[in-house]
Amino acid sequence: MKFGIDRLLEDPALRKPLEGKRVALLAHPASVTRDLEHSLDALAACGGINLTAAFGPQHGLRGDKQDNMVETEDYTDPVHGIPVFSLYGEVRRPTGQSMGTFDVLLIDLQDLGCRIYTFITTLRYVLEAAAEHGKAVWVLDRPNPVGRPIEGNMLEEGWESFVGAAPMPMRHGLTLGEMGRWFIHYFDLDVQYKVIEMQGWQPEGPGSGWPTDRVWINPSPNAPNVMMARAYAGTVMLEGTTLSEGRGTTRPLELFGAPDIDARAVIAEMHKRAPQWLKGVTLRECWFEPTFHKHKGMLCNGIQIHTEGPRYNHADFRPWRLQALAFKAIRKLYFGYELWRDFAYEYEEGKLAIDVINGGPQLREWIDSPSTIANDLEAFTAPDERMWGQMLAEYLIY
């Protein structure tokens, strides 16, 4: 199959509208061609493209920033001599100065198919800036590595943030090119927009979203493989808790734990409370010692979520429900457990991080209430999932 960048480089007819235009690129480390050449280098070497600037999202164009709220500065690319503007530093929206460096912005970002992954918020901000300044935006489309499944409650009104660009569920089921189409409609943007479509992508085919003939490269430092991407819509919630999400280990966001929990007891309680949410996946007790981040240097008892092997079923796997169920089990087993971290998450002050992550307090309130059961969560989540799924049809390309 071919990604958008591959088709643009191979087809002169697709590039022809760029002739005589100043072109900028928004990219990160996973922005590579089939031959693993970075898109910045490939476009710079491509005849007829006048590359005048580049932009980097959270973690930077080079992906060198490890954690959240670690900012990247502007700099000049040492190879191509063009300015590289950070969209996760002094600003998160492109400034008038940076918008003046190009006519057409190419976006080549590998997303994870999850609302909280900040690249889709950056897409929204760039589209709004392009509409304001009369610039064109092209998305060089890439797969949603977790395919079409939809899961989670909609972001609630008033809970928009850098990890919540608009009302959508946690697993949104769109590619970046499709998401741009929805943003333009939802925010009523007047912008020149084009998607260089993929060729041969099968959302429900082998790999369940990620094509088996393409190499995985970290789009951010703690996104090391497809297994992490599959679990991420659930495990990202761990960032709002005192539990380790495996940062400082070789399997970040695939496992979780703490020095003071009994993982076997947690797994047993999860199976007792909602076995229907544990289909298609294997949970395994494990031990780990983070080399940095939460519980650094401490032995943690934890649970690894195995989203591979013959027992994995992509259609049945529900990572958001699974992780919520784990929190519910810990609440049941350990009265008064200090589960929620109280800190400024992605610059949001005065709100619990878990609520910012989930786009509202509904899920936390369900977890914290001793009387709520699985059906109560389904009651406020399933209607949102159905509504989003029905609404998407007109924006799908594949």
Please tell me the predicted confidence (pLDDT) of residue 281: 98
How far apart, in whole angstroms, are the C-alpha atoms of residue 385 and residue 125? 25
Cβ-contact 140, 107 below 8 angstroms: yes
DSSP state of 236: G
Integer CA distances (angstroms), 326 to 221, 237, 241, in order:
25, 11, 12
How far apart, in whole angstroms, are the C-alpha atoms of residue 389 and residue 398? 15
Integer CA distances (angstroms), 171 to 23, 221, 231, 263, in order:
32, 20, 11, 26
Please tell me the predicted confidence (pLDDT) of residue 363: 98
Which parts of the chain register pLDDT below 70? 63-70
Give me the numbers of helices (H) and strands (E) for the chain, helices first please: 12, 10
Strand 22-27 relative to strand 50-56, pairing: parallel
Q: Which distant-in-sequence residues (6+ apart) come within 8 Å of 11 by Cβ?
A: none
Run of H or E residues at 192: strand 192-196
Strand 50-56 relative to strand 83-86, pairing: parallel
With CA atoms as reference, report the closest residue to 217 among 63, 1, 46, 42. Answer: 63
**Domains by residue range for the chain, with CATH:** 4-221 (3.40.50.12170), 226-360 (3.90.1150.140)
Backbone φ and ψ of 305, nearest 5°: -95, 110
Please tell me the predicted confidence (pLDDT) of residue 297: 98
